[in-house]
Amino acid sequence: DTLWDLAIAEVEKRENPDDDGKRVEISEKSILFMGNKNGGKTTIILRCLEREEIPKPTLALEYTFGRRARRHNTPKDIAHFWELGGGTSLLELIRIPITSNNIRAFAVVLVLDLSKPNELWTTMEKLLQVTRNHVNKILTKLEKTNPEVATEIKQRMQNNLQRDHPDYELVDPFPIPLVIIGSKYDIFHEFDSEMRKIISKTLRFVSHYYGASLVFTGKSEALLLKARVLINHLAFGYDKSKSVSVDHNKPLFIPAGLDSLSQIGPPPTSDSDIGRMRANTPLELWKKVFEKMFPPKSFCDLQDTKDPAQDLQYAEYEVDVMRAQKNQELEQYKRNASKSWKEMDFDPD
| Rounded distance between C-alpha atoms, residue 99 and residue 101, angstroms | 5
Q: For 34-46, how does the pLDDT look when each residue is reduced to its tens digit (9 = 90+)?
A: 999 889 899 999 8
| pTM across the whole model | 0.78
Question: What is the reported pLDDT for 305?
Answer: 46
CA max distance for the chain: 90
- Please report which helix (H) or strand (E) contains residue 257, including its range: none
Q: For 202-227, how does the pLDDT look when each residue is reduced to its tens digit (9 = 90+)?
A: 999 999 999 999 999 998 888 888 89
| Rounded distance between C-alpha atoms, residue 147 and residue 164, angstroms | 27
Among 64-68, 134-138, 141-145, 186-190, the range scoring the smallest mean pLDDT is: 64-68
Look at the domain 24-293 and name its fold: Rossmann fold (3.40.50)
| Rounded distance between C-alpha atoms, residue 37 and residue 302, angstroms | 9
Q: For 80-106, how does the pLDDT look when each residue is reduced to its tens digit (9 = 90+)?
A: 999 998 888 888 899 999 999 999 999
Cα distances (Å, whole numbers) of residue 26 to 50, 68, 74: 21, 10, 9
Cβ pair 8, 79 in contact under 8 A: no
Query: For strand 28-35 and strand 106-113, is the pairing parallel, antiparallel, or unpaired?
Result: parallel
User: 256 by DSSP, 3-state: which?
Assistant: coil
- Please report which helix (H) or strand (E) contains residue 345, including its range: none
Is pLDDT above 90 for 11? no
**Arithmetic mean of pLDDT, 141-148:** 91
Burial call 161-177: b when 16+ CB within 10 Å, e when fewer = beeebeeeeebebbbbb
What is the residue-wise DSSP string for 34-77?
EESTTSSHHHHHHHHTT---------SEEEEEEEEESSTTSPEE
Cα distances (Å, whole numbers) of residue 250 to 168, 199, 296, 304, 322: 27, 13, 25, 32, 54
Other beta carbons less than 10 A from residue 160's beta carbon = 20
